[in-house]
Structure 1
Amino acid sequence: MDIESYVLDIVDVTAETDDATSVSFAVPAEAAEAFSYKPGQFLTVAVPSDQTGLAARCYSLSSSPHDGGPLTVTVKRTASGYASNWICDNLKAGDTLRVLPPSGIFTPASLDADLLLFAGGSGVTPIMSIVRTALAEGTGRITVFYANRDERSVIFAGELSRLAAENPERLHVVHWLESVQGLPTAEQLRAFASDYLDRDAFVCGPAPFMKMVTSVLKELEFPRERRHQEKFVSLGGNPFGDVAELQPSEPAASDEQEEGGDALPDGMPTEPVSLEVELDGETHSFDDWEPRTRLLDFLESKGVKAPYSCREGECSACAVRVLEGELHLLHNDVLDAEDLADGIRLGCQALPLAEKVRVSYS
């Protein structure tokens, strides 16, 4: 089943720094529900490509769903990034871009919680959405540790300064500049984070930065439920449905292989499986989940609006936590060993390994 995509009008393109651009979209009234979103989520956009027809990329929303402003993503160009360079060099107000509705789970469970937010470079984009929204709608205290190469590369410098000045009792922003202080060390990050052990921590930025911060938070015994890391990669597949036009045909899957994935595991049930799903405060129960049908596909067939984005195992938008039973992943490019040990699985790639499975999307 293809994801429904939308062609949105671009109403504004703003240069945030020399290499970062914010792109704002107008959402038509008939698509307003589809584009309602939570702070920290992302859009998947279709960037035209002469070689493949399109390049699908995920970009975090920097706007807040609570201030009435336009839907906005912020994109930082990378040296070898075709899509980011195309967006920064070509888009202008009046253009259109094909996008999928917002997705992702990098979002606070409560806007009233005290937050510790770590951002590296363009990783500030979802952090900015969280800050804006929590200040507007929540009551908690917010501390932001924001690392950049130099002063010129600080995205949203003026906005963060303004928000901190307007909310001195709630928002504290610490800027770390490599040009002045060097790269932050684990010891320095540990000393900083140790003052905020009771907070919900969110981390987004370059992989080495996220790895170091996450390791520090683990050492400080931040529990898994209060430690969040943004996870998506450049998509290798195409979630927009034009697969035949965009990639060469592949050999048909054999009976022993799920299409687009690895060989099916031993021990899979041979009869329909019992499934219980907790989603948005509701519990859905079924007794007819066919073992060779992926979890997301099955839920969609039952009319359950489960979250997803790429359908390729390359983002965490469809992540579930296994409460009972077990799931096999046909493909996984985003969950690490700790995620898997904690029972986190990707719904778009999950097949049952037990006669009864219970999962939660919370």
Structure 2
Amino acid sequence: MSATARHTYQVEVREVVQETTDAVSLTLHAVTGPTDSLDYRPGQFLTLRVPHPDGSLTRCYSLSSAPNSAMRPTITVKRVHDGRASNWICDNVAPGTVFDALAPTGTFVPRDWSAPFLLVAAGSGITPIMSILRTALAAHDNPITVAYANRDAESIIFTRELDLLAHCHRGRLTVTHWLESESGRPTEAALRTWLTAAPESHAYLCGPAPFMTAARNALDALGLDASHIHSEVFTSLTTDAFGTAPAPEIGGSTTASTATVELDDEVHSITWPADTVLLDVLLAQGLDAPYVCREGTCGGCAYTLRRGEVRMRENHTLDQHDLARGTRLACQSEPRSDTLDIVFDQ
């Protein structure tokens, strides 16, 4: 049986804002899709089909806007050296440009908005951090520290807005910058002196992998609970997320589990072969399970495991906090218990 249709949109660029010489923000409007608006949560991302002379490219870009504001959905894209998609966007996109897009998704979303936030970013990693920051300031009252690393002052994305927000929310928001041109590379040892957080803080990290590793190690050394440190990881997709889903590969195992799956407010009982990933089982039954990459790198197929055990073949996006609260990836999960209870609630 073929998979059901994906939740796809066409989004039109309404405004292009040149944030820096190498970064632009694109304000978007849904012109076709399952709804007339892009419903998303702070920290999530959009998957776009980007036209290119070499053929269309599938890329994920974080939303920098806040869903609880009058601001239209906005993504911010920084030019990457030899990055075909980011360079095409920075050089060619104008108001009126239309992209194919998948519905917003992602697990880099705060759940406890009462805790102090330490928002740590490097370069374009500020994009989902801005969505979280804007949401927190507009709808919550927790104290926030933003620690933002860049090559130099000219590289700082949202520099004026960050200055303005820090001024308007003095006593609640602190913004601190690390500039390599002045202080050298932000090593783990250096980050231990730069990053500070109250023990009850939740830290959200986004940026290049080496930076996030150094930041996580620094926060761990400072005594911050590992379950309070959350990371957003992106890698370029190698598959076309907009293409027809490949025929589900249902394994030949004689061992199978029984799973109860809550999806789109409906509950389904499925037989799940031991050597088959959950996503393939759901698609084979014609269920509209969410997914983007099928590679374990984006979190677009995340679900919550309420009961039972699974083994994930790959995991390049969920951190220990995600795993501890039961988050798993449908495109990588194989059953390891007789009965399981699952809900797609991301």
User: Is the shorter-chain TM-score for this pair beyond 0.5, marking a shared fold?
Assistant: yes
Equivalent residues of 1:269, 1:355 under 8 A apart: no
Matches within 5 A, 1:184-199: 184-199=186-201
- 1:74 maps to 76
Out of 265, 275, 283, the position equivalent to 2:259 is 275
User: Quick check: 1:318 aligned with 2:301?
Assistant: yes
Q: How many residues align?
A: 342
Deviation at 1:272, TM superposition (A): 4.3
State the alpha-carbon separation in 2 of the partners of residues 164 and 48 from structure 1.
38
Number of the residue aligned with 2:52: 49
In the superposition, relative to structure 1, how do residues 193 and 151 fare at CA in structure 2: closer, same or farther (>3 Å)? closer
Q: Is the 8 A contact 2:233 2:317 kept in 1?
A: yes
Q: Does 1:93 align with 2:95?
A: yes
| Alignment match, 2:18 | 15
Q: Deviations over 1:172-211 (max 9, x none)?
A: 1001111111122323322344442211110000111011
Question: Is 1:308–2:261 an aligned residue pair?
Answer: no
Per-residue CA deviations over 1:108-136 (Å, capped at 9, x if unaligned) read: 10333321110001100000011001100
Task: Give the AA of the match of 1:288.
Answer: T
The amino acid across from 2:114 in the alignment is: D
Aligned-residue offset at 1:350: 1.6
Partner of 1:109: 111
Secondary structure of 1:127's partner? helix
| AA partner of residue 77 (structure 2) | V
Partner-residue secondary structure (3-state), 2:136: helix
Q: Determine the C-alpha separation between the residues in 1 that align with 2:324 and 2:42.
A: 27
Is contact 2:230–2:319 with CA below 8 Å preserved after alignment? Answer: no
Structure 1 residues 36 and 321, CA gap change in structure 2 (3 angstroms): closer
Q: Is the 8 A contact 1:318 1:347 kept in 2?
A: yes
Aligned match of 1:165: 167
Do the aligned residues in 1 keep the contact of 2:8 with 2:34 (CA within 8 Å)?
A: no
Over residues 245-279 of structure 1, what are the superposed CA-to-partner deviations in whole Å (9 max), with x where a residue is unaligned?
xxxxxxx99xxxx48xxxx7xxx963542224578
Cα separation, 1, equivalents of 2:14 and 2:190: 42
Contact 1:10 1:26 in 2 (8 A): yes
1:249 alignment partner in structure 2: none
Supply the distance in 1 between the matched residues of 2:178 and 2:322 (Cα, whole angstroms): 29
Q: What is the CA–CA distance in structure 1 between the aligned matches of 2:171 and 2:86, rounded to whole Å?
A: 37
Could you say if the C-alpha distance between residues 323 and 242 of structure 1 is closer, same or farther in structure 2, counting changes exceeding 3 Å? closer
Query: Do the aligned residues in 2 keep the contact of 1:3 with 1:239 (CA within 8 Å)?
Result: no
Higher mean displacement: 10-19 or 334-343: 334-343
Q: Which moved more, 1:321-330 or 1:6-15?
A: 321-330
Cα distance, 1:315 vs structure 2:
1.0
Q: What is the deviation of 1:141?
A: 0.8
TM-score, structure 1 normalization: 0.83
Work out the CA distance in 2 between the residues paired with 1:219 and 1:342: 23
Partners of 1:330 and 1:349 within 8 A in 2: yes
Q: Alpha carbons of 1:137 and 1:197: their partners in 2 closer, same or farther (altered >3 Å)? A: same
Equivalent position of 1:119 in the other structure: 121
What amino acid does structure 1 have at the position aligned with 2:17? Answer: T
Does the Cα contact within 8 Å between 2:23 and 2:77 map onto a contact in 1? yes
Alignment root-mean-square deviation, CA? 3.2
Residue 320 (structure 2) pairs with residue 348 (structure 1)? no
TM-score normalised by length of structure 2: 0.86
Who is 1:247 aligned against?
A: none
2:41 matched to which residue of 1? 38
- In structure 1, C-alpha distance between the alignment counterparts of 2:108 and 2:191, rounded to whole Å: 21
Deviation at 1:35, TM superposition (A): 1.7
1:286 partnered with 2:269? yes
Q: 1:134 to 1:21 in 2, by over 3 A?
A: same
Percentage identity across paired residues of the two chains = 43
Aligned to 1:223: 225
| Equivalent AA in structure 2 for residue 10 of structure 1 | V
Cα distance in 1, alignment partners of residues 143 and 119 from structure 2 = 11
Partner of 1:208: 210
Secondary structure at the counterpart of residue 111 of structure 1? coil
Structure 1: where are the runs of 5+ without partners? 245-251
Query: Greater shift after overlay, 135-144 or 317-326?
Result: 317-326
**Uncovered stretches (5+) of structure 2, i.e. residues with no partner:** none
Query: Could you say if the C-alpha distance between residues 202 and 333 of structure 1 is closer, same or farther in structure 2, counting changes exceeding 3 Å?
Result: closer
